[in-house]
Structure 1
Amino acid sequence: AHDIATCYEISRATLTKLYDELYAARVVLEGTILKPNMVLAGRKSGAVSSPEEVAQKTIKLFREAVPAAVPGIAFLSGGQEDEEATANLNAINAIGPHPWKLTFSYGRALQAAPQKAWSGKASNVAAGQAAFTHRAHMNHLAALGQWKPSLEQAA
């Protein structure tokens, strides 16, 4: 039920502690990948942030808390709907350049549509595969900052 500002503050405190500990342990950051959440309001808050607001808050957080030595950030979908996660990733990449490679490591947001299309039926395997290919391609474009909503209807 948290708002976007609370997500930002808790994420900032968490990342600051993480990188303090990694520095103390002499971890070579160039050999790491961060797998974080995006900065957004919780589902139960009733607030829906635009992809642009999510992008601005997420990048502000990372510029304050994630060292440029970290080569890559692979986002979790964090309960976002499929297209919402894609739109947010796209908005984040569209406001680059960034010192890190930004991509996705979605579970549910990558698999929900294919599982629904498949529905456990052998006759739906091709439909499930097509849904997975589409969602993966949309996220690939978002990782490049090249996704747009009209591409979803083209499928």
Structure 2
Amino acid sequence: MTSAPARRTVVATAKALLAAHKGLLAMDESTKTCNKRFAALGIPQTSEARRAWRELIVTTPGLADSISGAILFDETIHQQLKDGRPFARALADADIIVGIKVDTGAQALAGHPGETVTEGLDQLGDRLVNYAALGARFAKWRGVIAIGDGLPTNASISANAHALARYAGLCQELGLVPIVEPEVLMTGDHTLLRCAEVTERVLHAVFEQLYVQGVQLEGLLLKPNMALPGLACAEQNTVDEVADATVMCLLRTVPAAVPGIAFLSGGQTGVQASNRLNAMNQRFKKRMPWALTFSFSRAIQYPALDIWHGDSGKAQQAQHALQHRAACNRAARGGEYSAAMEPTA
């Protein structure tokens, strides 16, 4: 059972991550994923290029005005700025709480073609202790659920929910806030209704396992997908339809004791993600028992990455784009975002 001091620590950290209408910046892409994004833009796929990109992010002026916490990857938490400060210390100096991705990736689920289960529980306690010593105060684990013909199976949902709950329990035992991320993928031609149905099944399973494992709901954050039609679906729903389907799904599944829900952006553009988050906070502000915020990666990073292209001379312009997208999402969390905030308006 988690000790009383650890329980108090995770509750306080969770509250700090949700303070002042801020959200999270996910900059925890694996080396493989980061290299893939760099390759598409002709950026060298080297550790120094990745370090330079992440230094650009961490040193963005005004980032802490909108971002309360940043999720790092193992490589990044061990890297340093050019001035010698570790990234974790630079973020803490900027009043941004440091987080760390701790799963080791999704692997094929035996006996279930097309489905995966996320690995990384082996020696997780030891790794969490080491990350905490490097400055981490929260962690993240992602479970991946695919929609398809006969998918997802109960086996896939159950395996991923169990892993998420065991990870969350280990985090809280050591005083780290677990970010619980069950992601129903946007890949496919499924409808918004189908996504909402699957997301509801997944969240029911996740919270059942969190209860079984004795995880304190007040000391975690949920990082789910929005209810969205598949990228190949013929009908792409309106912003309000997405907002309504998503929040109704959450109201049916997420206990009021959870302090906050920080959406992942998945395959959404920056503007799409801001619009949809904004609509939820406008339309349901008085009905939601938890804060609705963001934990975006691509929807914040991509405009800046497209400007930077590995060119240090464009760093300042890229930082401006990054800060702008973060500010738009902070506004969306308060239901105050509008198209007029965009430079093309």
Instruction: Give the TM-score normalised by the residue count of structure 1.
Output: 0.96
Answer 1 or 2: which has greater helix percent: 1
Matching residue within 198, 201, 206 for 1:13: 201
- Give the number of the structure with larger relative contact order, counting CA–CA contacts within 8 Å between residues 6 or more apart: 1
**Structure with a larger share of its residues in strand:** 2
Matched, 1:109 2:295: no
| Cα separation, 1, equivalents of 2:331 and 2:236 | 23
Structure 1 segments, 4+ long, off by >2 Å, are none
- Aligned residue pair count: 155
Choose which of 19, 22, 42 in structure 1 pairs with 2:230: 42
Structure 1 position 47, deviation (Å): 2.1
Report how far residue 151 of structure 1 moved: 1.1
Among 259, 271, 280, the alignment partner of 1:71 is 259
Q: Give the AA of the match of 1:65.
A: T
Provide the secondary structure at the position in 1 that maps to 2:267: coil
SS in 1 for 2:296: coil
TM-score, with length taken from structure 2: 0.44
What percent identity do the matched residue pairs reach?
40
- Cα separation, 2, equivalents of 1:44 and 1:76: 19
Q: How does 1:84-99 map to 2 (within 5 A)?
A: 84-95=272-283, 96-97=285-286, 98-99=288-289
CA distance in 1, matches of 2:289, 2:226: 17
Query: Which of 291, 313, 338 matches 1:123?
Result: 313
Corresponding residue number in structure 2 for 1:80: 268
Residue type matched to 1:10 in 2?
A: V
Say which is worse superposed, 57-66 or 23-32, in terms of deviation.
Answer: 23-32
The CA distance in 2 between the partners of 1:76 and 1:89, in whole Å, is: 11
Query: 1:46 is matched by which residue type in structure 2?
Result: A
Name the amino acid aligned to 2:339. P
Residue 154 of structure 1 and its aligned partner are, at CA, apart by 6.6
Q: Residues 18-73 of structure 1: CA distance to partner in whole angstroms, max 9, x if unpaired?
A: 11111122211111100000001011113211111111011100110000000010
Q: What letter is aligned with 1:143? A: R
Which residue pairs with 1:33 in the alignment?
221
Partner of 1:100: 290
Q: Where does structure 1 lack aligned partners over 5 or more consecutive residues? A: none
CA distance in 2, matches of 1:7, 1:92: 17
Computed over aligned residues only, the root mean square deviation of the Cα atoms, in angstroms, reads 1.2
Query: In the aligned structure 1, how far is the partner of 2:247 from the partner of 2:339?
Result: 22
Q: Which of 334, 341, 345 is the equivalent residue of 1:144?
A: 334
